[in-house]
Amino acid sequence: MRRIPLDVLCVSAIVTTALVALLPGLNHPGIHNWDEAVHLAVSRGLMDTPLRPHVYAEPFHQPPIDDWINGGLWLHKPLGAMWFAALSMSITGVSTGSARFVSVLGMGAAALGVFFLMRASAGRFWSTIAACTLLVLPFTYELTQGFMFGDMTDTSLAGCLALAMVLLVMSIQRDSLPLAALAGIAVGLGYLCKSTLALTPVGVAAVLSAGRLLKLTAGPTLRQLALLLACAATVALPWSLYAQHAYPDLWAIESHVTRSHLFLDDARKNPSIVMWIRPLDAVFNEIHLRTLEPFPEALPLLAGLWLLYRALRTRELETTAVALWLWPTWLVLSLAPAKVPATSWGAVTAVFCALALLLRDSFRRPVLAAAVVGALSTPFLLPRLAFLAPLRNRLPAALEQTRNTPGLFEGLCLALTLALVVGVLFLVPRARRPLTLGLGFSSAALALYFFVPHTALAHQKMREARRDVGERTNTKEAGLAAAKLLPKQALVWMRMEMDAPEQFEHLNFMFWSGRMAFKGNPRLDWGRAEGYRHYLASPAAEPFASLEVPAGSALRLYDLSVPAPLPELPPGVQHLEVDTGSAVVKGVAFIRTGYARDRWAFFVAPRRVPETLRVTFHLGGGKSETVPLPPEAALRPRAAFRDAAWFIIPTLGPRADQVESIELPGTTAPFPLARGG
């Protein structure tokens, strides 16, 4: 039987990890507010007008030109990832999973970049372990699943940068012009995803080219460098030039916003950026603590320092290229006043390349292994290192977070102390072999603990913490129904005064429906001349003709141009008529999500201002789960429902196939659930 090449096995392990860690739940309907909600709304609009990005196709509400959340024309970020999402949804249908799939591809490419860049220097084992760990990081999960103020733009940037760096290194090794051209194309695609943050490979190529001329290191020829630049410009510039010409006013404003991240005076004048102004050392403290959890802050810095030492000492192409990628990124972001966690994500591949190299070398170098053990031991020993606080407080004022936040300083001190102690002991000839073996295995074991079970547990903890948020939506079913039933020229008025936690409901409805949605009282004069028809999305019974929406939807749809009697409960609702005192629960329906929780809709007829109810789901085996039903879950103040014929209280509950009966206040016995769903 023919042996399978080791590279194929390693790549298979990385791809499998990506699929297992990132694909489950990717299609969850919860759309996180801020970045993902806006980006998905823009992606939905790009399906209709690929060269005119917008939130509202016709901004009748006349928002400010630079309103990037509720505005019309949208140039707040480059469109590369959103074009991909629009293309994906055009092929497979509108869904969050289809739109987010670019993130899975981006992070898969980033992880493969770790392997292909470091398999020679760090070995296949540690390169594969580092690549798989990158995919299991909690922050990787957050970004890929859209649970963060950063999403497809950051993950696609990480993938494009990794691809560009791998192709750049291969083009140098093989003296290949086609590979240099492909590296340039990857840079251009990265630029279309995240603007100037994608230009790092160009700087790396230029420095390596200069190093080649000075005979210091391998690097691209001038022809390769020129071809890389030309291909990058060919991909990146057309859209930039077109947008600048077609939308000059907004282009100028958004260009200034980009510059505001880099210059302090501009950042202080921009309300959306001033909140992200951070001190010089925030990247190595707050940002790393947030993005590289559960690794202690000292470890990536130690890995970066070792990478730099190896690059200067050996001048290996891969090591030098990764060092030129990592350190300028860290330094530029440190000097920039605005520091958002995801902005450092473009260099995450380089961080894990450095970690793979650090762990490979520490197995053979006891002093380095001691430093690794010290850095990794910091979280366990931090309470015992409180005596270092006075020394930490004497650091320069510019290192504000290092001075005031325990962690990084203590980790570096512990790593340095252990390294010095082992360095002295290593002077004893008889101690060299035991130290090398003992510390090598100790550092490897501790690193494997952090890389495998510890990170996997942190990933699982993050997944469980985000479970209900991901399965919460008040808009999906009504939005999808609107996409089928309403004309293209439709305005939907959403009768709600609040958003569900971490949601922008009007943007979410626009994503699912492809129709413009507004909160507030209907303005029937809007769009009249353009032929728009008005509809209402409401959680309550309204005196208009109702449209067919799944029974378990949190919202009903009505045609505002057709008055009608108040509707009865929609078809598919299980009728109950349970008197709870302050209200009558008239019915219940559910939506099967396919995940750990289903979405439930309770139809309530209040007698006065409704009160919070509690429903108990009786499961098999004598188990039960009690869930509160606050009227505010319908996204209006409870007093607003006082005179409603009925309204819907949505909630998340157990899967319907696990529920045997339901119990409400006022019931003498639980009533069985009809699972027609």
CA distance 290 to 405: 14
- Is residue 652 located within the same domain as residue 578? yes
Confidence of residue 626 (pLDDT cuts 50, 70, 90): very high
- Is residue 620 located within the same domain as residue 647? yes
Q: Kindly state whether residue 104 falls inside one of the protein's structural domains.
A: no
pLDDT computed for residue 488 by the predictor: 95
pLDDT computed for residue 20 by the predictor: 97
pLDDT surpasses 50 at 1: no
Q: Kindly state whether residue 114 falls inside one of the protein's structural domains.
A: no
Q: Rounded to an integer, what is the distance from CA 398 to the centroid of its chain?
A: 30
- Tell me the CATH number at 623: 2.60.40
pLDDT tens, residue by residue, 172-196: 999 999 999 999 999 999 999 999 9
Q: Kindly state whether residue 656 falls inside one of the protein's structural domains.
A: yes
- Is residue 525 located within the same domain as residue 580? no
Q: Kindly state whether residue 502 falls inside one of the protein's structural domains.
A: yes
Q: Kindly state whether residue 590 falls inside one of the protein's structural domains.
A: yes
pLDDT tens, residue by residue, 335-355: 999 998 888 999 999 999 999
Nearest to 99 by CA among 54, 49, 59, 41: 41
- Is residue 609 located within the same domain as residue 654? yes
* Total domain count, the chain: 2
pLDDT computed for residue 2 by the predictor: 52
Nearest to 27 by CA among 480, 371, 367: 480
Q: Are 302 and 309 a contacting pair, CB within 8 Å?
A: no
- Is residue 551 located within the same domain as residue 597? no
pLDDT surpasses 50 at 112: yes
Residue position matching structure tokens 């995240």: 194
- Is residue 580 located within the same domain as residue 662? yes
pLDDT tens, residue by residue, 579-613: 998 899 999 999 998 888 899 999 999 999 999 99
- Is residue 491 located within the same domain as residue 533? yes
Lowest-pLDDT range, 150-154, 565-569, 665-669? 665-669
pLDDT computed for residue 472 by the predictor: 85
Angle at 283 between CA 280 and CA 284, to 5 degrees: 100
- Is residue 553 located within the same domain as residue 490? yes
The tokens describing 224, both together, are 């390769």
Angle between helices 6-22 and 138-145 (to 10 degrees): 60
Domain enclosing residue 555, as ranges = 476-563
Of 536, 563, 590, the position where a domain reaches its end is 563
Q: Kindly state whether residue 605 falls inside one of the protein's structural domains.
A: yes
Angle at 78 between CA 75 and CA 83, to 5 degrees: 105
pLDDT surpasses 90 at 677: no
What residues contact 403, with CB distance under 8 A and at least 6 apart?
Answer: 392, 393, 395, 397
Q: Kindly state whether residue 413 falls inside one of the protein's structural domains.
A: no
- Is residue 612 located within the same domain as residue 544? no
Q: Identify residue 607 by its one-letter amino acid code.
A: R
pLDDT surpasses 50 at 331: yes
The tokens describing 563, both together, are 């008055």
What residues contact 374, with CB distance under 8 A and at least 6 apart?
Answer: 298, 411, 414, 415, 416, 417, 418, 419
pTM score? 0.94
pLDDT computed for residue 482 by the predictor: 98
